[in-house]
Amino acid sequence: MRARYRGGMILPRPTRTLAATAAVALAALICGCGSPAPAPAPTPTGFASEAEAFAAAEETYRAYVDALNRVDLSDPATFEDVYQWTTGDLNASDREGLSRYHAEGFTVSGESVITTIEGNVWSPSSGEVSLAVCLDVSSIALVNASGDSQVQPDRTSVQSLTVALKPTQSGELAIRDIVGREGAPECDL
């Protein structure tokens, strides 16, 4: 290899060095020996992508509906599973409602079934997520101690809902609000 002298240092010829460097880089690219592409950086709330945030929100909401479906109004211990999935005013409302139903001797039967669930909005900065949900409540019956139905006669069989979730201090999502919604996706009624 020919070298050249410059300011007291012997340097390799630039053309050969450049060619050798290019050949090594090209070989690394061809054989896949380069570094793997970096994974997306998680947001401050822990989600690397919108899809990840929506998946976590869906998992949380499904767990909440499953917990509600297991509630036995005669056994307050079954309420605890419901409470772990909610926060704020929704948690307070669930606690008040389930406690009142228990105290007044109500019974519930049937199951809610999620027929549609789609990601709606994700805020990477706050970590808040909302879902558009269609929830079939047609088989749910609620009766008081006298055996009278407490279900409104004009109840819609499939509820069109927006479910809002927010991150907790532990980084998990909790449901903060569930409200009626209009628009897509349409729920089959």
Pairing between β-strand 158-167 and β-strand 173-180 as defined by DSSP bridges: antiparallel
Q: Which of 148, 154, 8, 133 is nearest to 62 (CA)?
A: 133
163 neighbors 135 (Cβ within 8 angstroms): no
Q: Is 112 helix (H, G, I), strand (E, B) or coil?
A: coil
| 152-179 pLDDT, tens digit each | 999 999 999 999 999 988 889 999 999 9
pLDDT beyond 60 at 145: yes
Report, as an integer, the average pLDDT of 6-19. Answer: 39
Pairing between β-strand 107-109 and β-strand 113-122 as defined by DSSP bridges: unpaired
90 neighbors 176 (Cβ within 8 angstroms): yes
* Degrees, nearest 5: CA angle 89-106-189: 70
pTM: 0.75
Q: Whose structure tokens read 């060095």?
A: 17
- Give the whole-angstrom CA distance, residue 166 versus residue 97: 22
By 3-state DSSP, what share of the chain in percent is helix, strand and coil, each rounded to 5?
Answer: 35, 30, 40
pLDDT at 48: 86
| 93-142 pLDDT, tens digit each | 999 999 999 999 999 999 999 999 999 999 998 999 999 999 999 999 99
Pairing between β-strand 141-143 and β-strand 107-109 as defined by DSSP bridges: antiparallel
| 62-93 pLDDT, tens digit each | 999 999 999 999 999 999 999 999 999 999 99
pLDDT at 85: 97
pLDDT band at 5 (very low <50, low <70, confident <90, very high): very low
Q: Which residue has the higher pLDDT, 180 or 44?
A: 180
pLDDT beyond 50 at 43: no
pLDDT at 171: 83
